[in-house]
Amino acid sequence: MDIPSTSLHCNSMMESRQHLFFDCSFISEVWSFFTSRAHLSPPTSFDDSLRWMKDPSRTTNISLILRLIYQAAIYAIWRERNSKLHNASFRLPLAIIKDIQLTICSCLDPLSRAQRTIPQRSLISLIGSGFFRV
């Protein structure tokens, strides 16, 4: 396969794991959407973010939500990169954000339903109505 060495997202830098998932200006819009709503400043290096994901919050449910966001974002970014490579399809960061939101909600909804028997706030209610609003 003929794979370009420059980033398929921004076409300006050499593609590396660090650039693809964190440093690319195109992708930073995706991360900014979620981190600004969660009032977070997570590490911006790939290795540091993996270490941070081991214990991102003191609250178990918040940690679960942050891990879901992280995993869904990494997957969506990789999938978007491959779509650009193989299908020459180009979407805006907002479309990637919506994909991530759907993934997170589809994971949290069954967990939230299971928690209804427990007298505590559900996972869905923890993220707040404005967290996922675009």
CA 42 to each of CA 6, 38, 56, 67, 120: distance values in angstroms, whole numbers, following the listed order: 26, 10, 9, 12, 27
Q: How confident is the model over 39-94, as pLDDT tens digits?
A: 888 898 999 999 999 998 888 888 888 999 999 999 999 999 999 999 999 899 99
Q: How confident is the model over 22-44, as pLDDT tens digits?
A: 999 999 999 999 888 888 888 98
